[in-house]
Chains A and B, each alone.
Chain A
């Protein structure tokens, strides 16, 4: 199994707070990996560090053996690492189609972009119906679909997801997670950051549990799901 992304001793400060205190983990090519933990554990900060929005104070991020630790966000996107931001970060005054077109900003291959658009519409048929509507008028679930669709338009090789279940009804969460499994089957490597620990570990091959800035557990998703320590802390006993 080849390693796509390797994180070594990564430390990130958020203002004056040391939010991530030297974590080490890796993502295998073609797998879904979950990074789970309670609110404030440092999961989102880790993602912001990987996508270049926060500058790490220590450590390294290697993507396909290239050091991307100190690259700018747009350079990291161009390498194929695309983040679906928490709070969805869609452009509410633009239409659904315009949002998706902007997702392919780094690409110049018109034919390939059209193919990607078809794939996104295939995964999320509702986006096709709403193509000309303002993204701000979409429901929460549809906005999350649009955010994921927009990230796919960049044709990433690694997709970083920050709390895709946030603020969504349980049925919608299941739908989104099913789609993530579909996307992963098509060959995309996924790093999933979640507070919805049970759902995340169900679909993840490997998982890491974070607490107060440290990785405290690392195992396969299935093992973590049945680990008594995880069950007690995150799954309600």
Chain B
């Protein structure tokens, strides 16, 4: 099994990244499920990463407590900024959350405790594969249960038409805030996990491009189900590696793939209804 050991030591961070990205894609799926286009999840991830890294480095907290803090800290921030901003809709909310993301990035860039532009070094590598798998499984289980509950039905009607939802007696503002805060907590935990296997974090990892990346994962995979965002996360994490032989043309090819998917599969790669139809046709032969 020597090749497996070699493979693992070369690619384990890649596998870990898929898991963390899946968690991030699910975090934005949650806000999208409630009809919110939030671009703040990269910043929430950053808050989780920095809070957890600082607690590990300076306070010596145990890893479990560090991860809890990584979720709670961005959730609190989301609660505070969510109350005024979630009254906005569509592209206005996207702009407000983007601006918030920049505020976070610039704050981290200029604080002393966060190491400024140099970031934080020497974060203990506490994250293990099973941590990521267990947390991801827990999140998928929780979100599946939620989808089938009253909350899930409320989300669905808010996404479809929030005026109609409020006329059915659904407290639209409260559910939006709930989705936003829970999404922030998930992104924060992802940030905490990420910081504890990459050894090093810097403000560059939580900016505008990363916010777009997270959104792209969910949209590429398809937001109609939980499988879609995770599939999108896996593809967008692997694609740059698989295209390594293209050298400097890699980014271009990556972009072309995205454009093609959006053009021909506007609901994403994983669309339950189409996949069902595909199997039905295959079975008929």
Q: Beyond A102-B153, A105-B154, is A154–B164 a contact (Cβ under 8 Å)? A: no
Task: Determine, out of B67-75, B115-123, B165-173, B193-201, the stretch whose residues face the partner at the interface.
Answer: B165-173
B163 touches A106 (CB 8 A): no
- A94 to B167: give the CA distance in the assembly, Å: 17
CA distance A98 to B154 in the complex (A): 11
Chain B 137-181 near chain A by CB (<8 Å), digits 1 or 0: 000000000000010011011001101101111111100000000
Please report the C-alpha to C-alpha distance between residue A51 and residue B168 in the assembled complex, in whole angstroms. Answer: 11
Whether A90 sits at the interface, judged by CB under 8 Å, is yes
Q: Mark A85-104, 1 if CB is under 8 A from B, else 0.
A: 10001111110001001110
B160 touches A92 (CB 8 A): yes
Which of the segments A57-65, A74-82, A122-130 contacts the partner chain?
A74-82
Interface size class of A (residues with CB under 8 A): 20 to 34
A90–B170 touching, CB < 8 Å = no
Question: How distant is B186 from chain A, measured CB to nearest CB, in Å?
Answer: 25
Contacting A91 at CB < 8 Å: which of B160, B166, B172? Answer: B160
Name A's interface SS.
Answer: loop
Supposing A94-B156, A105-B150 touch, asked if A89 and B170 sit within 8 A by C-beta, the answer is no
* Given A94-B156, A102-B153, A102-B157, residue A89 in contact with residue B169 (CB < 8 A): no
A72 to chain B: which residues have CB within 8 Å?
166, 171, 173
The verdict on A105 contacting B171 (CB below 8 Å), with A53-B163, A93-B160, A94-B160 known, is: no
A73: CB under 8 A from chain B?
A: yes
Complex contact A105–B168 (CB within 8 A): yes
Whether B161 contacts A53 by the Cβ 8 Å rule is: no
Task: Check A154 against B169 for contact (C-beta < 8 Å).
Answer: yes
Q: Are A103 and B163 interface neighbours, CB within 8 A?
A: no
**Chain A residues with Cβ under 8 A from B167's Cβ?**
51, 53, 73, 77, 82-83, 85, 89
A101 to B163, CA, bound (A): 17
Task: Verify if A150 is at the interface (C-beta below 8 Å from B).
Answer: yes
Q: A102-B153, A105-B154 are in contact. Are A78 and B169 (CB under 8 A)?
A: yes
Q: Let me know if B161 and A89 touch, CB within 8 A.
A: yes
Distance between A110 CB and nearest chain B CB, rounded to angstroms: 13
Q: How far does the Cβ of B176 sit from chain A's closest Cβ, in whole Å?
A: 12
By beta carbon, the residue of chain B nearest A135 is: B160
Q: Which of B150, B154, B163 touches A89 (beta carbons < 8 Å)?
A: B163
Cα distance, A24 to B166, chains bound together (Å): 26
**What CA separation (Å) do A106 and B18 show in the bound complex?**
40
- Bound-complex Cα distance A91 to B169 (A): 15
* Residues from chain B with Cβ under 8 Å of A150 in the complex: 168
Nearest chain B residue, comparing its CB with the CB of A151: B167
Q: A102-B153, A105-B154 are in contact. Are A154 and B168 (CB under 8 A)?
A: yes
Q: Which residues of B contact A90 (CB under 8 A)?
A: 164
Q: Which of B33-92 contact A (CB under 8 A)?
A: none
Chain B hits for A83, CB < 8 A: 167
| A residues near B164, Cβ cutoff 8 Å | 85, 89-91
Which among A51, A91, A154 is the interface contact of B157 at CB below 8 angstroms? A91
Can you report 26 residue pairs joining A to B where beta carbons are below 8 Å apart?
A51-B167, A53-B163, A53-B167, A73-B166, A73-B169, A74-B170, A77-B167, A77-B169, A78-B169, A85-B163, A85-B164, A89-B163, A89-B164, A89-B167, A90-B164, A91-B157, A91-B160, A91-B161, A94-B156, A94-B157, A94-B160, A102-B157, A103-B168, A105-B154, A105-B168, A106-B168
- 6 nearest A-B pairs in the assembled complex, by CB-CB distance: A77-B169, A106-B169, A89-B164, A73-B166, A91-B160, A74-B171
